[in-house]
């Protein structure tokens, strides 16, 4: 752009000279502000790109191999689910099953003998004598070691009438399945909490002298996921019966069927946790998977929900607020993050002051965490409200001085445009200052995505959501997820569906050791 030519200065009077100087100064100031904003934007962009460039490294070939492994794994689990459903509809004769390899002889045996509950023949009262026994073995896992549980059921015959008496066979989590509840719990937790794919688990077990190929493990995962469905639905019902929810979502790369390419699915999390406001109701988290991020997904998830929704600025949530049955609560952690990212790349007095002002709000929250809602509201009104009113005036005044294109201005506009939702927590002691509960729930997904990169299919994403719901809810209630699943799988096969709530984490807490601190 060519600079404008200066007029003949000798011909200008004093007033014209002053006007020219003012005009040149204003033009120069506008240019400097524009450049400063552009520099700030570019510095922030470079910092973000460097983080993306150096924050994640992997070899392309290894990535492709692992994705193929996951695609195969999900196909095998899906086949197991279909097989389980088919068996439930029409029982398959035992003779149709292939012959199973015997369990390794080198493993220790723990013998459980199941005697009939009768000292005499239930028909005639005659004396019972030993006739023989049925023996069935089940492979079990006990915290980093395998053992074989040998269930022995002596057969007793009556001297008086030849009646044969025998204890019923103990139930198994998977009908006629080889795996005990502890082993199934370990496989599930290793896959979904410790992010170990089944093919890696198979290698680990082989080193212990136990041959469990991936297809066998996949069959167990598929059958167990079907068994646990009613429990996951009970978790969902508990979460959605709340009057305040934390919500968030995260992308999940998913292998598209057939072509080996990837698409982007979505995992949504909804957290119920009112402990910070002194409510003793059990916390829980429900995950849902969808193949896309359309706004209809959260609308379907929350179609029966009524209350406060603490979430980010995702446009798909906006339609939820139109009917008035769900109202928006914004997140100060998101607002602070805008300033913090700029501060890391290009610190300024404005970003420093913004971060300090938000920190003062959080200091109040730390003092009142766990107090009753009415106490929290009273203290917030007295101490946080004046800070927020003052902050708004400062943000508006600061925004007027900044270039509209600067990142700092964008961060300020983000906060001001959501001010009502950001300050709603002051008027309701049940609400939180941020959405960190949902973000914490999603950390397990982020760690898993880093380790195994993709889900193998949409059905694999749905199974992951179900398992994250159970494991996450167990952890929120202070339980070791593996011990919790072990206890559930010991009972669920014989447990009446009408009492499925008995197996929810908070109802098993008294019988499950807590997570070590």
DSSP string of 16-76, one letter each residue: HHHHHHHHHHHHHHHHHHHHHHHHHHHHHHHHHHHHHHHH----HHHHHHHHHHHHHHHHH
Portion of the chain with pLDDT greater than 90, in percent: 61
User: What distance in Å separates the CA atoms of residue 115 and residue 129, rounded to the nearest whole number?
Assistant: 12
Residue 346 has pLDDT above 50, yes or no: yes
Write down the pLDDT at residue 338.
95
Q: Which is more confident, 457 or 322?
A: 322
Site of tokens 């060519």: 2
Highest mean pLDDT among 48-52, 466-470, 511-515 belongs to: 466-470
**Contacts (Cβ under 8 Å, ≥6 apart) of 262:** 67, 253, 254, 255, 256, 454
Q: 449 or 199: which carries more pLDDT confidence? A: 199
30 — pLDDT class (breaks 50, 70, 90): confident
d(CA 439, CA 442): 5
- 253 vs 369, higher pLDDT: 369
490 within 8 A of 181, measured Cβ to Cβ: yes
Pairing relationship of beta strands 262-272 and 244-255 according to DSSP bridges = antiparallel
pLDDT tens per residue across span 141-173: 876 788 999 999 999 999 999 899 999 998 899
Q: Hey, which bits of 256-400 come out as E strands?
A: 262-272, 284-290, 307-310, 326-329
Q: Is the confidence at residue 448, as pLDDT, over 70?
A: no
Closest CA to 70 of 228, 179, 263, 218: 218
- Strand bridging mode 146-158 / 284-290: unpaired
User: Does the structure show a pLDDT above 80 at 290?
Assistant: yes
Mean pLDDT for all residues in the chain: 86
Taking only the tens place, the pLDDT of each residue in 370-401 is 999 999 999 999 999 999 999 999 999 999 99
Cβ atoms of 158 and 123 closer than 8 Å = yes
Q: Which of 271, 303, 266 is nearest to 286 (CA)?
A: 271
> Quick check: 37 pLDDT over 90?
no
pLDDT of residue 248: 94
Q: Is the pLDDT of residue 135 over 60?
A: yes
| Residue 60 reports pLDDT greater than 70 | no
Question: Tens of pLDDT along 309-332?
Answer: 999 888 888 889 988 999 999 999
| Comparison of pLDDT for 286 and 174, the residue scoring more | 286
């Amino acid at each position: 752009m060519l600079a404008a030519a200066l007029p003949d200065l000798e011909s200008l009077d004093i007033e014209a000279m002053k006007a020219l100087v003012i005009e040149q100064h204003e033009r120069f100031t506008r240019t400097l502000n524009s450049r400063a904003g552009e520099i700030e934007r570019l510095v922030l962009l470079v910092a973000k790109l460097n983080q993306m460039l150096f924050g994640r490294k992997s070899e392309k070939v290894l990535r492709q191999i692992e994705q193929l492994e996951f695609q195969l794994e999900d196909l095998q689990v899906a086949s197991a689910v279909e097989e389980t459903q088919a068996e439930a509809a029409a029982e398959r004769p035992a003779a149709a099953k292939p012959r199973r390899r015997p369990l390794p002889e080198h493993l220790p045996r723990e013998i459980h003998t199941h005697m009939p509950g009768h000292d005499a023949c239930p028909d005639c009262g005659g004396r019972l004598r030993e006739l023989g026994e049925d023996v069935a073995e089940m492979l079990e896992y006990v915290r980093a070691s395998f053992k074989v549980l040998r269930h022995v059921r002596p057969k007793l015959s009556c001297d008086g009438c030849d009646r044969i008496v025998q204890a019923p066979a103990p139930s198994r989590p998977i009908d006629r399945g080889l795996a005990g509840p502890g082993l199934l719990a370990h496989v599930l937790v290793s896959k979904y909490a410790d992010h170990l794919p089944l093919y890696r688990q198979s290698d680990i077990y082989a080193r212990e002298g136990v041959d469990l190929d991936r297809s066998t493990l996949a069959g167990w995962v598929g059958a167990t996921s079907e068994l646990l469905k009613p429990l996951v639905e009970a978790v969902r019902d508990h979460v959605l019966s709340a009057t305040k929810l934390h919500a968030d979502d995260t992308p999940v790369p998913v292998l598209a069927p057939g072509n080996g390419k990837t698409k982007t699915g979505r995992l949504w999390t909804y957290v119920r946790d009112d402990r910070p406001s002194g409510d003793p109701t059990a916390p829980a988290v429900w995950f849902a998977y969808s193949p896309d991020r359309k706004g209809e997904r959260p609308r379907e998830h929350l179609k029966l929900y009524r209350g406060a929704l603490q979430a980010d600025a995702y446009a798909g949530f906006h339609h939820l607020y139109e009917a008035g049955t769900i109202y928006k609560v914004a997140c100060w952690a998101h607002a602070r993050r805008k300033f913090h990212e700029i501060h890391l790349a290009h610190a300024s007095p404005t970003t420093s002051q913004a971060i300090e002002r938000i920190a003062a709000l959080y200091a109040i929250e730390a003092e009142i965490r766990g107090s009753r809602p009415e106490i929290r509201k009273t203290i917030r009104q007295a101490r946080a409200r004046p800070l927020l009113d003052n902050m708004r005036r400062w943000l508006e005044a600061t925004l007027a001085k900044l270039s509209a294109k600067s990142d700092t201005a964008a961060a300020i506009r983000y906060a001001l445009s959501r001010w009502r939702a950001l300050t709603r927590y002051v008027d309701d002691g049940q609400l939180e200052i941020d959405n960190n509960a949902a973000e914490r729930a999603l950390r397990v997904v982020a760690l898993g995505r880093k380790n195994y990169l993709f889900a193998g299919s949409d059905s694999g994403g749905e199974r992951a959501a179900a398992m994250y719901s159970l494991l996450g809810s167990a952890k929120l209630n202070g339980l070791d997820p593996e011990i919790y699943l072990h206890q559930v799988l010991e009972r669920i096969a014989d447990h009446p569906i009408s009492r499925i709530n008995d197996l929810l984490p908070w109802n098993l807490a008294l019988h499950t050791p807590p997570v070590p601190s």
